[in-house]
A and B are shown apart, each in its own frame.
Chain A
Amino acid sequence: MSEWVLQADSLSKRFGRKWALRDCTVSIPQGKVVALVGPNGAGKSTLLRLAAGLSQPTSGTIEVLGHDPHKSNEDLLRRIGYLDQERPLYRGFRVRELFRFGADANPGWDMQAAHLYVDQLGISLNDRVNSLSGGQQAQVALTMCLAKKPELLILDEPAAALDPVAREDLLRLLMRQVSDNGSSVILSTHALSDVESICDYLVILSHSRIALCDDVDFIVESHRFLSDPTSSNSRLPDGTTIMDTRISGRGVTHLVKMDLPIVDDSWQISEPTLDEIILAYLRQGVRNGLLDHVETPVNTRVLP
């Protein structure tokens, strides 16, 4: 058994002349709940579709649970549960019929669990999909994924556009699955509060590239705000890299990534929250993206 649920090496995907994903190298350990964060168009869905074997890399490689998901046999696909952003369901079906379909398509289908899930969510087996609210449809779609009892769940914005209660119910259902089955989860989201409460691993995508990928705890431990109220420091402490800078009046505050403990006491040091770190990386991505565009237009075109 592979200790990684997902390993990508120089993974790239191009649609026409546009790179949706470039040079992604990541390794995601087993048993994590991974948040995939990034602005719209950063390549989140592309990465998730590649992981689910729904599309093929332009270059580079990807392995999921130790296998190439695109070339792989049905066996691997049974071990993965993928939920698309659109949450496709047969609108005219009753929930019972969806489940029967799920059972036919998946040998590992747990009908008892499927019934229990919808029961907890207050949805009847006789309800038709198109009579359900958007939130309930999302819950049924997730239930379809969970009842497969997959080792890895790949969820593209599973909680987007849900009201707070539906969202809470859905995420709780997901966490219970993680607790009961030890499933790994990779989910994309725009809600930073979800990242803090349910995810223990974070991947930030920005402009088709990986900007950050690590354990959430380590990310928080390895970043600091350094402030200098009078801008009198000319030098940053050793082992630090600036990720974001804010200049106020006379003072300056950097968000830095530190590779060594900071011993320099000429800076005021404070601990950022996870949200602040994520936002800094996303902002930095926006700036670099603009620079890329202006300074190196040649690099964006690559030989076929």
Chain B
Amino acid sequence: MEDKRPSIYFRLDSRSGVAPYRQLVDQVRHAVKLGQLRGGDQLPSVRDVVTQVTINPNTVHRAYRELEHLGIAEGRLGLGTFITHDVDSLSRESDHDVVEESLKQWIKLARRSGLDEDQMLTLLRQFLHHNEQVRS
């Protein structure tokens, strides 16, 4: 068996309460942002991920599909899943910076008006979950 080092080593935190597929998606996004994964890099095969961490292969498929949907990765028939060369989809990161900056401002404001961390999180969650759709 050839021993190739995986382009990314996934971790699963079963206590985080974050769905496992979401954890994989986030880890790839993070690695792309940090430059650990670059355009053209191959993601480990589903089988390899199942060997890295104890996870349902369906979950890995689902995470990879989500990455494709986000334009971060692309499936190539019979070859595997690769990080896209298309940097455009990732330039959304610049929008991220704007969002992060305004969030920092908001946190400052919230602190000044006496909200603690939990209260801020509660507020944020509350607004996130409005207008939410349920799968029919």
Interface residues of A (CB under 8 A from B): 31-33, 168, 171-172, 175-176, 178-180, 193, 196-200, 217-218, 220-222, 224, 258-263, 265, 268-271, 273-275
Contact = CB atoms under 8 A, between A and B. Distances in A.
Nearest to B130: A265
A222 B58 contact: no
B46 A179 contact: yes
A216 B126 CA distance: 23
A275 B134 CA distance: 20
Nearest to B121: A270
Contact of B55 (A175, A217, A222, A274): A175
B20 to A, nearest CB: 6
Contacts, number: 80
21 contacts: A168-B54, A175-B54, A175-B55, A175-B56, A178-B50, A179-B50, A179-B57, A180-B47, A193-B14, A197-B12, A197-B54, A198-B54, A200-B59, A218-B135, A222-B134, A261-B131, A269-B130, A270-B122, A270-B129, A271-B125, A275-B17
B105 interface: no
Most buried by B among A175, A224, A273, A274: A175
Most buried by A among B15, B17, B57: B57
Contacts of A31: 58
Nearest to A192: B14
A221 B135 CA distance: 8
B97 interface: no
Contacts of B14: 193, 196-197
A124 to B, nearest CB: 20
A175 B134 contact: no
A171 B54 CA distance: 7
A265 B15 CA distance: 29
B19 interface: yes
B82 to A, nearest CB: 19
Most buried by B among A32, A218, A270: A270
A221 B22 CA distance: 13
Most buried by B among A33, A197, A268, A269: A197
A199 B132 CA distance: 25
Contacts of B19: 196, 217, 220
Contact of A261 (B50, B53, B134): B134
A197 B55 contact: yes
Contacts of A260: 134
Given A178-B57, A261-B132, 6 more contacts: A176-B47, A176-B50, A196-B19, A260-B134, A269-B126, A271-B125
The 6 closest A-B pairs by CB, nearest first: A273-B17, A179-B57, A193-B14, A269-B129, A175-B50, A171-B54
Interface string B48-78: 0011011111110000000000000000000
A198 B54 CA distance: 7
